[in-house]
Amino acid sequence: MVKIQQNKVLSRIGIAPIANTSAELLALLEQPERYAPALEKMSESRRCEWLSARVLLKQLLGEEKEIAYTGFGKPYPADRSCRISISHTKGFVAVIWDKDREVAIDIERISPRVENIRSRFMSREEERNLSTENPLIHLLLHWSAKESLFKLLDENDIDFQSQLHIEPFEPVLNQWADFPARETRTEKRQAYRISYLVTQAYVLTAIG
């Protein structure tokens, strides 16, 4: 099930299709009874997303971890043994982990629906720098990168349009690449390199 993506920056990323039933996924976990209370409240599609992430993490980490959540919904292993981030989109799940550093990941199915929310996350400068060759891909990468930044910061009341900033870049397809970004939400006003991958089915961004 797991596909571990390698590049010079990120070596602990897993991407997998969501292609199993929840029963099949539970059979791949060592303590299925642990998940019963949470699964009772979910639809079958949500169960598959939720369980796929846990199976993928188990394959990446080599052992099954109990996952807890911060007050803002950020996942972490209950034993605090490493840092993780999880994302899913229609048909795919992605995870990233690191022993020490904070990490974040986002995966988005390629779809024009992102056009409906572009005014919520694109600044005027970012709109001016949008690619004319691959505008939809470029738009999705902006959205995905800001989702990754949002997860990494783990703060409330973040304005995607005015506090998360993507520097100009031209997207490349079918290979790992990166681009600069920064945040002005916190006092640190940190700069980042966003690693990304564009396939025929999805775009993925990660920080780590």
What is the per-residue pLDDT across 16-39, written as a single tens digit (0 to 9) for each? 999 999 999 999 999 888 898 999
- Start-to-end CA distance of the chain, whole Å, equals 23
DSSP H or E run through 79: none
Distance CA 168, CA 189 (A): 18
Residue 2 pLDDT greater than 80, yes or no? no
Taking residues 3-15, what's their average pLDDT? 60
Where do runs of H (alpha helix) occur along 113-181? 118-121, 124-128, 135-153, 160-163
Question: What pLDDT, on a 0 to 100 scale, did the predictor assign at position 167?
Answer: 98
User: What band does 71 get if pLDDT is binned at 50, 70 and 90?
Assistant: confident
Residue 198 pLDDT greater than 70, yes or no? yes
The string over 15-24, giving b where at least 16 C-beta atoms fall within 10 Å of a residue's C-beta and e elsewhere, is bbebebebee
Domains contained in the chain, CATH given? 3-105 (3.90.470.20), 107-207 (3.90.470)
Mean pLDDT, all residues of the chain: 92
The string over 37-50, giving b where at least 16 C-beta atoms fall within 10 Å of a residue's C-beta and e elsewhere, is eeeeeeeeeebbbb
Token duo for residue 192: 């980042």
Residue 9 pLDDT greater than 80, yes or no? no
Task: State what percent of residues in the chain have pLDDT above 70.
Answer: 95
Per-residue pLDDT tens over the stretch 132-158: 999 999 999 999 999 999 999 988 899
Q: Does the pTM exceed 0.85?
A: yes
Beta-carbon-side half-sphere exposure of residue 72 (alpha carbons within 13 Å): 11
Taking residues 70-89, what's their average pLDDT? 92
Taking residues 30-54, what's their average pLDDT? 93
Taking residues 88-103, what's their average pLDDT? 94
Residue 6 pLDDT greater than 50, yes or no? no
